[in-house]
């Protein structure tokens, strides 16, 4: 396929930048190569139509427009969805928010104000991306799986999820949590530390934490300094589920 076919398939949702194979998310290299080819083929253009007057971008990657038939609620106020991003029926996008090329946002998901869905990120059904959430994009390396947020996950305000980290079904990420391969995640329930490439388990509740600096940083240790981490403090049960029921009224 050429890059035009790939962008069209991504937008329709018939192609994805990553797929779950045998329980593990894997990058679709052909799709990511196609997106990079589109960037290379694109030329800078000033958009002069009424929707995007004064903006300059690659001529082949303009912002998308929607109609009521798309059944996507794109609230006025500065949001943008780029060509090659799939937004399913029932998605709500609050302003300002941005969804980049190659991203997949499934039905019933809320993308709240100041939220970013980066290139190739995969967002499942009925996910809430709260205000200020940053979902990183991963185009290169080609073989690296992008950030994945599975169905029914709740991502709290100001959370940052980057470097291909994955959050499995039903997990809750508290406000302010940072998830990257360099930030360790401790499971205080199972009493273990997750591997850097290990996803956040299903229905885990993750909060911001801190850990002491190691002995190599003796001066910092003397000062009582600590480093960032994330901690799984429990797994969702009926009580924690009820605290999220309000989301159904926002959809």
Distance CA 91, CA 2 (A): 29
Which CATH number covers residue 8? 2.160.10.10
| Residue 146 scores a pLDDT above 80 | yes
C-alpha distances (whole Å) from 107 to each of 11, 88, 104, 147 are 14, 5, 10, 18
Q: What is the pLDDT of residue 81?
A: 97
Q: Specify the 3-state DSSP secondary structure of 193.
A: strand
Percent of the chain past pLDDT 70, that is, above it, reads 94
Q: In the predicted model, is pLDDT for residue 241 greater than 80? A: no
Number of domains forming the structure of the chain: 1
Adjacency order of strands within the sheet including 110-111? 73-74, 92-93, 110-111, 128-129, 154-155, 172-173, 204-212, 226-235, 185-187, 192-193
Question: Is 248 a residue whose pLDDT tops 90?
Answer: no
Please report the pLDDT score of residue 62 as a whole number: 92
Residue 52 belongs to what domain range? 3-250
Percent of the chain with pLDDT over 90: 80
Q: pLDDT tens-digit profile of 186-240? A: 999 999 999 999 999 999 999 999 999 988 888 988 888 999 999 999 999 877 6
Q: Kindly report, residue by residue over 130-145, the tens digit of the pLDDT.
A: 999 999 998 888 888 9
pLDDT at 157: 96
Tell me, what's the pLDDT at 25?
95
Work out the average pLDDT over 27-56.
89
| pLDDT score of 215 | 80
Give 42-85 pLDDT, tens digit per residue.
999 998 776 777 789 999 999 999 999 999 999 999 999 999 99
How confident is the prediction for the chain on average, in pLDDT? 92
Is the peptide bond preceding residue 15 cis, with omega within 30 degrees of 0? no
């Amino acid at each position: 396929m050429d890059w035009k076919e790939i962008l069209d398939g991504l937008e329709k949702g018939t192609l994805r930048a990553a797929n779950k194979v045998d329980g593990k998310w894997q990058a679709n290299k052909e799709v990511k190569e196609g997106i990079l080819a589109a960037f290379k083929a694109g030329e800078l253009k000033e958009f002069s139509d009424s929707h995007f007057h004064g903006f300059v971008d690659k001529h082949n990657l303009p912002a998308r427009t929607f109609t009521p038939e798309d059944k996507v609620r794109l609230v006025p106020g500065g949001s943008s969805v780029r060509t090659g991003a799939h937004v399913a029926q029932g998605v709500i996008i609050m302003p300002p928010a941005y969804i980049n090329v190659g991203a997949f946002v499934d039905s019933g998901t809320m993308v709240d104000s100041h939220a970013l869905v980066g290139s190739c990120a995969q967002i499942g059904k009925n996910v809430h991306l709260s205000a200020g959430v940053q979902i990183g994009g991963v185009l290169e390396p080609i073989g690296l799986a992008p950030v994945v947020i599975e169905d029914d996950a709740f991502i709290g305000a100001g959370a940052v999820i980057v470097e291909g980290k994955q959050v499995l079904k039903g997990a809750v990420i508290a406000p302010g949590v940072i998830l990257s391969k360099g930030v360790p995640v401790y499971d205080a329930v199972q009493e273990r530390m997750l591997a850097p490439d290990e996803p956040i388990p299903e229905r885990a509740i993750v909060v911001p934490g801190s850990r002491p600096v190691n002995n190599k940083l003796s001066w910092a240790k003397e000062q009582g300094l600590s480093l960032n981490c994330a901690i799984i403090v429990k797994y969702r049960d009926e009580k924690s589920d009820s605290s999220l029921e309000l989301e159904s009224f926002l959809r």
